């Protein structure tokens, strides 16, 4: 939105530190981490097996001598087996619900929380937040890191917060309008639901007072950004994070909105081939792996995020010297293999957003009726387009089919459904329904 051009502002000068200094700082912190992590049996044993001591970490490349950590490791050490400090030092516990039963917990010391608030403040300021703003947070407040993480970041900047939390969309619309929020914080899919909720109340969502949006917590596409900006008349920024590493605050976009700056003074990032675990080249897609350089409560070494993205080391016009990550293309565990072709839900989304008349509410159903996986894309049609005429609906279906084929290379079954039939979630949208299990 041209009307809301933002001025480049930097929260902490460390964000613009020369890379050589940044790397020296990372090395000091990595050594200290190896020392701290020896308090955790999982790492202590791995270090012993491979003869690793802090002194042997002489360059950042030595990170490759350290073991990877997976979600499975976190599950095995349920609930708090990966603490690096005595329990009394813990000030907060969050968790990630996951899809398979018990959450995995992450713990923060008071110092961890101070740093976390600062990390969120950095990307919020990079994306236009100023102390005079009013921020409406429609993320869940609870074990999920989204609500509290952003909340403290906003407070750190000195702006005002409306901790609306997730759900009850009509009430969200009322609060945004009546309190005059400038900034919206939630998942990208929920931003669109808020727009939809406003229309259902007879309110043009473009007349809401919002100027910026900071969205994250789930994958989204450039087309979805355009749609959100168009529907809510705001500037939309992307931010990324994961609970095992800290929550939101791992990376976020600056005013250039061309990749998310990874906060490398606190997180050492690698991008690896998920099969071979060897590093991929800059700009190539691979799995992001994070090492928490400063975290005290539950530090992680080489945590495999399962998120597929690419790293861009090119200097950014904003002056920050940190590496930028691309949008997350998908997760290794979200990737579908249909007749031998790898397909990510984000590719389906990209195709749908190219076809006018379809709402960005969709669900991908995977089944295995025989030997092969079959994929059905259920797409909601916008109310104004939905028609009883078979021929019109057939033409729409054909267009979607063609777009999906041109992006993914495969043909899928497309099912058009009536407006409001796909289940909405106030948090992360559930895009894939896997009926194979
Ligand atoms: O979703 C933390 C967060 C909250 C980030 C709010 C940003 C805003 P988890 O619940 O542990 O933590 O889920 C982490 O969500 O591994 C990605 O797959 C996905 N994810 C988070 N942000 C983005 C994003 C939070 N901007 C998982 N783009 C991650 C794509 C994202 N995927």
Give me the number of domains the chain comprises: 2
Q: Are residues 56 and 171 in the same domain?
A: yes
Q: Quick check: pTM over 0.95?
A: no
142 in contact with ligand 1, CB cutoff 6 A:
no
Which residue among 299, 332, 365 closes a domain? 332
3-state DSSP percent of the chain in helix, strand and coil, to 5 = 35, 25, 40
Q: Are residues 79 and 154 in the same domain?
A: yes
The CA-CA-CA angle for residues 260, 266, 268, to 5°, reads 75
Which residue among 332, 352, 379 closes a domain? 332
Write the CATH number for 392. Answer: 3.30.300.30
Closest atom of ligand 1 relative to the 331 alpha carbon: 18
Secondary structure class of 338 (helix, strand, coil): strand
Give pLDDT tens digits for 196-241.
999 999 999 999 999 999 999 999 999 999 999 999 999 999 999 9
Q: Are residues 240 and 369 in the same domain?
A: no
Q: Ligand 1 centroid vs 402 CA: distance in angstroms?
A: 30
Range(s) of the domain holding residue 3:
1-332
Give CA–CA dist 267/386, Å, rounded. Answer: 47
328 in contact with ligand 1, CB cutoff 6 A:
yes
146 in contact with ligand 1, CB cutoff 6 A:
yes
326 in contact with ligand 1, CB cutoff 6 A:
no
Nearest CA to ligand 1 atom 9: 242
pLDDT means over runs of 10, the chain (437 residues): 73 98 98 97 96 94 97 94 98 81 91 98 97 97 96 98 96 98 97 96 98 96 95 98 98 97 98 97 98 98 98 97 96 84 89 86 91 90 84 93 93 92 92 86
Q: Are residues 147 and 100 in the same domain?
A: yes
- CA torsion, points 63, 68, 71, 76, in degrees to nearest 10? -120
* CA proximity to 155, closest of 175, 135, 140, 183: 135
Q: Are residues 416 and 325 in the same domain?
A: no
73 in contact with ligand 1, CB cutoff 6 A:
no
The CA-CA-CA angle for residues 428, 143, 304, to 5°, reads 70
Nearest CA to ligand 1 atom 19: 218
Q: Ligand 1 centroid vs 285 CA: distance in angstroms?
A: 18
Give CA–CA dist 376/364, Å, rounded. Answer: 6
CA distances from 420 to 363, 383, 403 (A): 12, 9, 23
CA distances from 349 to 224, 284, 379, 421 (A): 8, 21, 10, 17
* CA proximity to 132, closest of 108, 155, 158, 156: 158
Which residue among 310, 332, 354 closes a domain? 332
Q: Are residues 328 and 351 in the same domain?
A: no
- Check residue 334 and give its pLDDT: 84
197 in contact with ligand 1, CB cutoff 6 A:
no
Give pLDDT tens digits for 96-106.
876 556 889 99
Write the CATH number for 82. Answer: 3.40.50.12780
Strand order in the sheet with 374-381: 413-417, 374-381, 358-367, 432-434
Q: Ligand 1 centroid vs 239 CA: distance in angstroms?
A: 8
Nearest CA to ligand 1 atom 27: 242
Give CA–CA dist 49/66, Å, rounded. Answer: 11
218 in contact with ligand 1, CB cutoff 6 A:
yes
- Check residue 99 and give its pLDDT: 53
Cis peptide before 57 (omega within 30 of 0): no
- Check residue 2 and give its pLDDT: 45
Q: Are residues 288 and 343 in the same domain?
A: no
Q: Are residues 116 and 258 in the same domain?
A: yes
Q: Are residues 215 and 280 in the same domain?
A: yes
Q: Is 202 exposed, middle or buried (0-12, 13-18, 19+ CB in 10 A)?
A: exposed
Q: Are residues 31 and 135 in the same domain?
A: yes
Q: Which residues, listed in sequence order, are joined to residue 48 by a DSSP beta bridge? A: none
Q: Are residues 308 and 340 in the same domain?
A: no
**Residue 61 neighbours by CB distance under 10 Å:** 9
Which helix (H) or strand (E) segment holds residue 92: the answer is: strand 90-96
Mean pLDDT of the chain: 94
Give pLDDT tens digits for 164-194.
999 999 999 999 999 999 999 999 999 999 9
Q: Are residues 118 and 143 in the same domain?
A: yes
């Amino acid at each position: 939105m041209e009307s809301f051009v933002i001025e480049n502002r930097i929260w902490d000068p460390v964000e613009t530190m020369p890379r050589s200094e940044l790397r020296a700082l990372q090395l000091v912190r990595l050594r200290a981490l190896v020392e701290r992590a020896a308090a955790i049996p999982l790492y202590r044993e791995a270090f012993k097996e491979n003869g690793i001591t802090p002194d042997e970490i002489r360059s950042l490349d030595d990170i490759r001598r350290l073991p990877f950590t997976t979600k499975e490791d976190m599950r095995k050490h349920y609930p708090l087996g990966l603490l690096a400090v005595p329990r009394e030092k813990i000030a907060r516990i969050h968790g990630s619900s996951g899809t398979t039963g018990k959450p995995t917990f992450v713990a923060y010391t008071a110092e961890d929380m101070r740093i976390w608030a600062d990390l969120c403040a950095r990307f919020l300021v990079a994306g236009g937040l100023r102390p005079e703003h009013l921020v409406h947070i429609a993320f869940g407040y609870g074990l999920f890191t989204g609500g509290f993480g952003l909340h403290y970041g906003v407070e750190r900047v000195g702006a005002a917060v409306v901790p609306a939390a997730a759900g009850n969309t009509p009430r969200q619309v009322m609060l945004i309008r009546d309190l005059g929020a400038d900034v919206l914080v939630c998942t990208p899919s929920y931003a669109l639901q808020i727009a939809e909720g406003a229309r259902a109340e007879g309110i043009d969502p473009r007349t809401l007072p919002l100027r910026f949006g900071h969205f994250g917590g789930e994958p989204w596409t450039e087309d979805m950004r355009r749609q959100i900006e168009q529907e809510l008349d705001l500037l939309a920024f992307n931010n990324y994070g994961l609970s095992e590493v800290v929550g939101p605050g791992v990376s976020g976009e600056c005013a250039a909105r061309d990749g998310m700056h990874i906060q490398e003074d606190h997180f050492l990032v690698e991008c690896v081939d998920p099969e071979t675990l060897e590093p991929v080249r800059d700009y190539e897609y691979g799995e992001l792996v994070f090492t928490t350089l400063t975290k005290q409560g539950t530090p992680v070494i080489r945590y495999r995020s399962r998120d597929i993205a690419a790293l861009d080391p090119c200097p950014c016009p904003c002056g920050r010297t940190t590496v930028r990550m691309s949008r997350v293309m998908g997760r290794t565990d979200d990737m579908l293999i249909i007749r031998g072709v790898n397909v990510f839900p984000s590719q389906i989304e990209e195709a749908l957003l190219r076809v006018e008349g379809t709402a960005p509410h969709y669900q991908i159903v995977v089944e295995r009726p025989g030997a092969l996986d079959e994929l059905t894309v259920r797409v909601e049609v916008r109310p104004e387009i939905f028609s009883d005429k078979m021929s019109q609906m057939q033409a729409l279906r054909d267009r979607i089919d063609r777009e999906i084929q041109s992006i993914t290379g495969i043909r899928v079954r497309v099912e058009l459904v009536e407006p409001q039939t796909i289940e909405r979630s106030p948090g992360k949208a559930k895009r894939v329904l896997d009926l194979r299990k």
